[in-house]
Amino acid sequence: MKAFVSIIMGSTSDLPVMEKAAKFFNDMEIPFEMNALSAHRTPEEVEKFAKSAVENGLKVIIAGAGMAAHLPGVIASMTSIPVIGVPINATLDGMDALLAIVQMPPGIPVATVGINASLNAAILAAQMLGLSNAKIAQKVMNYKEGLKEKIVKANKELSSVKYQFKVN
């Protein structure tokens, strides 16, 4: 089994944020890997990883980083497969990480999701994989369909909240 997606983070302190991506891939039965890499502490490892991503069979890379979050952009500069960036809220409510990831210069895009939104990063990766994998595409469609249940449940709970002048 080869990984389709690699989830990258700079330290295990980012794991509580990033594990939602891992759980999504596991639930969806999409092979993935997780690696610790740092744009600043192990630049050579980042380079080695990014440059061999295609030949290793990776299709998408998800990179989470906080503060002056360079990791997603640095990886994106060294590979031609899509890189999804997850800004992690370590300081300044995550605004520093968001801007350091999304405001990439012309030529090197990073597909940025919301602050701490690793689940959305994983769904986005699955959508990309689904472009050439009908089974994954179907899973994404099923997952999106399932989102409605949250609303159904919410409506049930709301209808159980009683006020005299509330109309049901």
Task: Please check whether residue 91 is in contact with residue 69, taking contact to mean a CB–CB distance below 8 angstroms.
Answer: no
Residues between 116 and 155 that touch a second copy (CB under 8 A): 116-117, 119-121, 123-124, 127-132, 137, 140-141, 143-144, 147-148, 150-151, 153-155
| Closest distance of CB 141 from a second copy, Å | 5
* Binds a second copy by CB under 8 A, chosen from 16, 43, 48, 135: 43
* Binds a second copy by CB under 8 A, chosen from 17, 29, 48, 52: 29
For 53, phi then psi, to 5°, come to: -60, -45
SS3 sequence of 107-130: CCCCEECCCCCHHHHHHHHHHHHH
Question: What is 9-52 written as a DSSP string?
Answer: ESSGGGHHHHHHHHHHHHHHT--EEEEE--TTT-HHHHHHHHHT
| Closest distance of CB 116 from a second copy, Å | 8
| Closest distance of CB 52 from a second copy, Å | 14
Give the residue with the Cβ less far from a second copy, 41 or 52.
41
Residues between 3 and 22 that touch a second copy (CB under 8 A): 3, 9-12, 15, 19, 22
The angle that helices 15-28 and 118-130 make with each other, rounded to 10 degrees, is 30
| Closest distance of CB 110 from a second copy, Å | 8
Residues between 83 and 102 that touch a second copy (CB under 8 A): 84, 91-96, 98-102
- Cα dihedral angle (92, 119, 99, 47), rounded to 10 degrees? 110
